[in-house]
Amino acid sequence: MKPDRVKTKMQDPGERIHNFDEVVLGYTREAAIEEAKRCIACKKAHCDEACPLHCCPADYIAFIEEGDFDKALEQILEYNPFPSTCGRVCVHYCEEKCPVGKKGTALAIAWLKRAAADYGQASIAPGKPTGKKVAVIGAGPAGFTVAWECAKAGHRVAIFEALSSPGGMLWAGIPSYRLPRAALDKDMQRILDLGVELRLNSPIRSEQEVSDLLDQYDAVFIGIGAHEPRWMGIEGEELEGVVHVVDFLRDVNQGKDVKVGKETAVIGGGSSAMDAVRTARRFGADAFIVYRRAREQMPADEAEIEQAEEEGIVLNLLTNPTRILGENGKMTGLECLRMELGEPDESGRRRPVPIEGSEFVIEADMMIQAISQRPDITWLDENSRFKTTRWQTFEVDPETNETSVPGVFAAGDAVSGPATIVEAIADALKAAKGILKYLEQS
C-alpha cells in the first residue's frame, strides 16, 4: 500500500485568484482507481462510524477499485442524495478516522465519492403512488433530502423555496470555485426527476401559511437554512463597508454588483470566513482573516486554510476586534486586542484571554463578519404553537423530528443551527423516516 494519497490536479494559485472556476479539479478515472486500491477494508469500519450518514465508504470504494463507477454511485445513493456536492465540500469526518493515515495520508474518501458522482450513472425510480402529499419548506440539502425519501416512497412532494434558485446555503453561501453550480444542479436534478415539484420565489411569511399547507398536504417539513445574520455587537457596525458573510456571499452568488474594499478584514475562522476572504481576494481586495483563537482551533478545514494562504491570504490570529473605526460614515479601520490562550472552555478549546494594554489598529475599509448566523423565525406568531429555543431553532421529537405541531416536521439548520451538509442530510433522513411513519399511521 502506498503511504500517500494520489494527488489531484488543482488550479495554480496565481491563476485562480482571478477567476471563480473550480480550484480542485478532481481525479481522472485511472487516478481514482489507483487511490481506491489504498483502502485496506478494515474489519471495523472507522470511516463508517465517523460519518453521520454511516454510508459504508469501503463498499463503494471497492466498486471504484474494480472500475465500476456506476455501482459505486448506486451504493452512495442508498445513503446520500448529494454525492457530487459532498464529494467537493463535505468536511469528511471519515478521513479523520481512516487508519491508513497513521502511516501516511488518509484515504481520499471525499475525492473518491466525487469520482463516483462524476463518472457514474445511476437512475432512481419513484415509488408506487400512494396518494399522499408532502410540502417541503426550503430547497436546501435538508429539504431536498426529505423530498428524495418521500418521493422514493411514492408520495407527491412540492418544495417551496423563498429564493430565486434552489440549493439553500449550498447555493447562496458557497462560492462556485469550491462548489460549481453544475455539480450542485446535478444532485438536485436527480431528486427533481422523481417527480418532485419545485416552486421558487415562494417564501413562507407567516405561521398561518404553514397551517394552510397542512390543510392541503398530509405532512409538512420545515427545512429553512440559517440565513439570518448574527452580529458581534461592537461599536461601528452601522458604518458603510461593514457587511455580514450571509449577505455578501449571497449577493456574489446571485451575480449582483458587489463592492469590495481595497483592504478587507474578514472576522472568523470557519468555512464561511474562508469562503468570504477568498472571494474578496478574487475581487482584487487585499483580504485577510482576523481570528481571536489560534490556527489549530480554526473550525475551517485545513485544506481550505492552506489554499487561502496559497492565494496570499494573511491570518491575523489571536486577534479580537473590539471596535470599528470610521470617518464620515465610512469604515477606516478596526481596533483590536491581542489575545492569549487560557484555560479550556465548555467546547474543550483553550479560551482566548485579552492581553491587557495590547490594543492596536488594523487599517481596513471593509469588514465581513463571519462569526455566526441563525434561522429566521420572525414569521412565527407571538404565541406560536411551535416550541422554539433561544437560538431561534425548532424543538423537535428526538426520534421522529416532529415539531410541537402534529404533522409538521423539521431538520437541518432549522433544528441544529448552522451545521455541515452531511449533518443536515443525516438529520433530514431521520425526519423523513418520521414523516413516512406518520403517513403510514394517518
Q: Check residue 327 and give its pLDDT.
A: 97
Q: Check residue 387 and give its pLDDT.
A: 98
Report yes or no: 400 and 427 within 8 Å, Cβ to Cβ: no
Query: pLDDT band for position 442 (50/70/90)?
Result: confident
Domains 9-119 and 133-227+375-441 belong to one CATH topology: no
Average pLDDT over residues 168-174: 97
Q: What is the pTM of this model?
A: 0.95
Q: Closest by alpha carbon to 170, among 229, 266, 90, 281?
A: 90
CATH 3.50.50.60 fits 231-373, yes or no: yes
Cell of 76: 452512495
Count other C-beta atoms under 10 Å from residue 337's C-beta.
Answer: 20
Residue position matching grid coordinates 444532485: 187
Domain ranges in the chain are: 9-119, 133-227+375-441, 231-373
Lowest-pLDDT range of 320-324, 341-345, 364-368? 341-345
The pLDDT of residue 269 is above 90: yes
Domain 133-227+375-441, architecture per CATH = 3-Layer(bba) Sandwich (3.50)
* Percent residues over pLDDT 70 in the chain: 100
CATH 1.10.1060.10 fits 9-119, yes or no: yes
| Rounded distance between C-alpha atoms, residue 230 and residue 271, angstroms | 16
Q: Check residue 24 and give its pLDDT.
A: 98
C-alpha 237: how far from chain center = 26
Query: pLDDT band for position 1 (50/70/90)?
Result: confident
The pLDDT of residue 401 is above 80: yes
The pLDDT of residue 100 is above 80: yes
Query: pLDDT band for position 419 (50/70/90)?
Result: very high
How many helical (H) and strand (E) elements, i.e. helices and strands, does the chain have?
A: 17, 18
Query: pLDDT band for position 349 (50/70/90)?
Result: confident
What DSSP designation does 238 have?
T
Q: 26-45, pLDDT tens digit by residue?
A: 999 999 999 999 999 998 88
The pLDDT of residue 2 is above 90: no
Average pLDDT over residues 297-309: 96
SS3 call for 28: coil
Query: pLDDT band for position 345 (50/70/90)?
Result: confident
Query: pLDDT band for position 351 (50/70/90)?
Result: very high
Average pLDDT over residues 277-287: 98
